[in-house]
């Protein structure tokens, strides 16, 4: 059971069915109550009409024996102010709910003479007080009291709604007419409606559950396809595969598109990582092989040891290892510090001791041009840019520092051959060297510019290359000013 409810399809079906069930119960209850109220009101109206018809006869002086009490076989009682039954339906055998259980009237003087004026002193009887009205001879009360009860007529017992209407006959007797209307129609209608609901509601709930199950299954079918494809990708480790995108243009389709975008990014990342490892292994192999060769020659012929070459290979190997370590830290998402760094002072520090390199501050930036970041990493960016510029410059390298609105800009320009427009983005890729700098001895490993751009991006800035005024390359480092 728990496994079944663990399905979105099952939970959606159960939830929809429960919501519809609650709505049906609430609606059915309201319908039954409204139906019962309307039918009871109609029965009360019929009972009041019958009671007022008899009251009208009494008001005009009709004798008790001549009253129309047996119309439609409905129970009728006429009760005097003392609670005595003075007239009743002929076939009435038992009655309850009117307050008077008697069904056979007792002979009274008023049976023979209802036109006398005797009894005027009783006009303000207790029954009048109960009805809340003071009546005159021949007047019918406006107030009607309704009650529920039962009666037996000709052996048939039914439930009735009774209406009590006060009246004073011409003789001045205060009387109350009780007339009943059967509730069988109300009971039958309510029972029929309840039976229909008890049969129809479960069938409707079954239809709702079945339709919801089908619709939910159809809606989730693409999700199942995505899950199967993702499982196959995980098992095969083939990141080139993609999940199917349905033509529904809904949330599932957007999920599939996002999943494919994630797979594409993951594939690109894994491919970049594989290429990085392969390139790093290739770059490390050369200095290690050269150093091993020199050491083996030195071991066999100490007099042939090229100490300077061994030291150079070792330094080169050390720099390459440091570059790889820095790239690994950057790829791991290492965040730079937020120390205040003066770019003018940093540029002069990095340019110091480099022949042919000049530093100048532009547009009144002779003071401090500060940014927030890691002094060590920003110094590494400037050092890599200066190494690259000196490697390609014919005679001079110029470093300029300026403020441009909310940004601090460092420009490194050389007078070399420049960078072709088609290669101005490719040179920032890792282990990329242009044809003019293919020699590992002269051109390095191709990591300097890649490191410089990664550091710039992680400091919230950019690193781009343009054509310098002298015709060489102009590298522009733009960072948010502190």
Residue 275, pLDDT > 90, answer no
| 414 and 280 inside one domain | no
| 309 and 458 inside one domain | no
Q: Please give the structure tokens belonging to residue 40.
A: 């009871």
* Lowest model confidence (mean pLDDT) among 242-256, 332-346, 363-377, 466-480: 363-377
| Banded pLDDT at 75 (limits 50, 70, 90) | very high
Classify residue 245: in a domain, yes or no.
no
| 282 and 396 inside one domain | no
Residue numbers of the domain that contains 180:
1-236
Average pLDDT over residues 449-471: 90
Average pLDDT over residues 258-265: 91
pLDDT at 27: 93
pLDDT at 209: 92
| 185 and 317 inside one domain | no
| 153 and 279 inside one domain | no
| Banded pLDDT at 343 (limits 50, 70, 90) | very high
Classify residue 72: in a domain, yes or no.
yes
Q: Total domain count for the chain?
A: 3
Classify residue 450: in a domain, yes or no.
yes
pLDDT in tens, 22-50: 999 999 999 999 999 999 999 999 999 99
Residue 119, pLDDT > 60, answer no
pLDDT at 436: 47
What CATH number does residue 476 fall under? 3.30.565.10
Classify residue 270: in a domain, yes or no.
yes
pLDDT at 364: 56
Last residue of a domain, one of 212, 236, 260: 236
Query: How far apart are alpha carbons 94 and 475 in whole angstroms?
Result: 113
Average pLDDT over residues 346-375: 84
Q: Are 255 and 286 in contact (CB under 8 A)?
A: no
Which of 134-143, 248-257, 328-337, 397-406 tops mean pLDDT?
Answer: 397-406
Query: How far apart are alpha carbons 447 and 130 in whole angstroms?
Result: 108
Residue 313, pLDDT > 50, answer yes
What CATH number does residue 298 fall under? 1.10.287.130
Buried-state track 293-314, b at ≥16 Cβ within 10 A, e below 16:
ebeeeeeeeeeeeeeeebeebe
Give the dihedral sign, CA 330/333/339/344.
positive
pLDDT at 129: 42
| 349 and 451 inside one domain | yes
Classify residue 393: in a domain, yes or no.
yes
| 322 and 352 inside one domain | no
| 194 and 160 inside one domain | yes
pLDDT at 160: 92
Classify residue 409: in a domain, yes or no.
yes
| 420 and 276 inside one domain | no
| 427 and 379 inside one domain | yes
Classify residue 246: in a domain, yes or no.
no
Residue 440, pLDDT > 50, answer no
pTM: 0.52
> Higher model confidence: residue 325 or residue 16?
16
pLDDT in tens, 181-203: 999 888 889 999 999 999 999 99
| Banded pLDDT at 274 (limits 50, 70, 90) | confident
Q: Are 50 and 179 in contact (CB under 8 A)?
A: yes
Among 317, 318, 306, 375, smallest CA distance to 342 is for 375
Last residue of a domain, one of 310, 328, 346: 328
Q: Which residue has the tokens 């190997």?
A: 317
Classify residue 293: in a domain, yes or no.
yes
Average pLDDT over residues 406-416: 92
| Banded pLDDT at 282 (limits 50, 70, 90) | confident
pLDDT at 477: 95
Q: Are 243 and 225 in contact (CB under 8 A)?
A: yes
Average pLDDT over residues 145-154: 91
Last residue of a domain, one of 236, 269, 296: 236
Residue 315, pLDDT > 60, answer yes
Residue 127, pLDDT > 70, answer no
Q: What is the mean pLDDT of the chain?
A: 84
Q: Please give the structure tokens belonging to residue 254.
A: 């957007």
| 210 and 277 inside one domain | no
Query: How far apart are alpha carbons 313 and 423 in whole angstroms?
Result: 29
Q: Are 306 and 314 in contact (CB under 8 A)?
A: no
The residues with which 397 forms a beta bridge, in sequence order, are 357, 414
| 279 and 229 inside one domain | no
Strands (E), 243-343: 339-342
Find the helix or strand (DSSP H, E) in which 51 lies. helix 8-59
């Amino acid at each position: 059971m728990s496994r079944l409810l663990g399905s979105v399809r099952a939970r959606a079906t159960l939830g929809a069915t429960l919501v519809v069930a609650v709505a049906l119960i609430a609606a059915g209850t309201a319908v039954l109550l409204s139906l019962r109220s309307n039918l009871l009101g109609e029965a009360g109206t019929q009972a009041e009409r019958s009671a007022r018809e008899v009251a009208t006869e009494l008001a005009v002086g009709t004798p008790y024996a001549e009253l129309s009490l047996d119309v439609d076989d409905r129970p009728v009682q006429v009760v005097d102010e003392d609670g005595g039954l003075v007239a009743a339906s002929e076939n009435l055998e038992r009655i309850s709910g009117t307050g008077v259980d008697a069904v056979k009237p007792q002979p009274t003087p008023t049976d023979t003479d209802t036109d006398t004026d005797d009894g005027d002193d009783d006009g303000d009887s207790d029954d009048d007080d109960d009805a809340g009205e003071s009546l005159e001879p021949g007047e019918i009360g406006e107030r009607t009291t309704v009650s529920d009860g039962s009666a037996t007529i000709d052996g048939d017992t039914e439930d009735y709604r009774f209406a009590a209407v006060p009246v004073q006959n011409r003789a001045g007797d205060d009387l109350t007419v009780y007339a009943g209307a059967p509730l069988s129609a109300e009971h039958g209608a309510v029972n029929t409606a309840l039976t229909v609901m008890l049969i129809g509601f479960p069938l409707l709930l079954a239809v709702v559950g079945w339709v919801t199950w089908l619709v939910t299954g159809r809606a989730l079918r693409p999700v199942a396809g995505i899950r199967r494809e993702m499982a196959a990708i995980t098992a095969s480790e083939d990141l080139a595969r993609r999940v199917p995108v349905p033509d529904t243009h809904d949330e599932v389709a957007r999920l599939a598109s996002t999943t494919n975008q994630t797979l594409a990014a993951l594939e690109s990342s894994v491919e970049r990582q594989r290429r990085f490892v392969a390139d790093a292994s290739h770059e490390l192999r050369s200095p290690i092989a050269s150093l091993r060769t020199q050491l083996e020659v030195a071991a066999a012929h100490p007099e042939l040891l090229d100490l300077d070459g061994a030291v150079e290979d070792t330094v080169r190997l050390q720099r390459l290892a440091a570059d790889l370590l820095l790239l690994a830290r950057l790829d791991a998402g290492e965040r730079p510090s937020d120390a205040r760094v003066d770019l003018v002072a940093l540029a002069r520090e990095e340019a110091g001791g480099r022949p042919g390199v000049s530093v100048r501050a532009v547009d009144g930036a002779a003071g401090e041009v500060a940014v927030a970041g890691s002094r060590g990493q920003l110094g590494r960016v400037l050092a890599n840019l200066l190494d690259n510029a000196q490697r390609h410059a014919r005679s001079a390298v110029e470093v300029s520092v300026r403020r441009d609105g909310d940004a601090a800009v460092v420009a490194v320009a050389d007078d070399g051959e420049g960078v072709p427009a088609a290669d101005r983005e490719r040179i920032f890729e890792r282990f990329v060297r242009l044809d003019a700098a293919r020699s590992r001895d002269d051109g390095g490993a191709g990591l300097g510019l890649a490191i410089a751009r990664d550091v710039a991006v992680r400091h919230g800035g950019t690193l781009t290359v343009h054509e310098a005024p002298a015709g060489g390359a102009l590298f522009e480092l733009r960072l948010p000013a502190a």
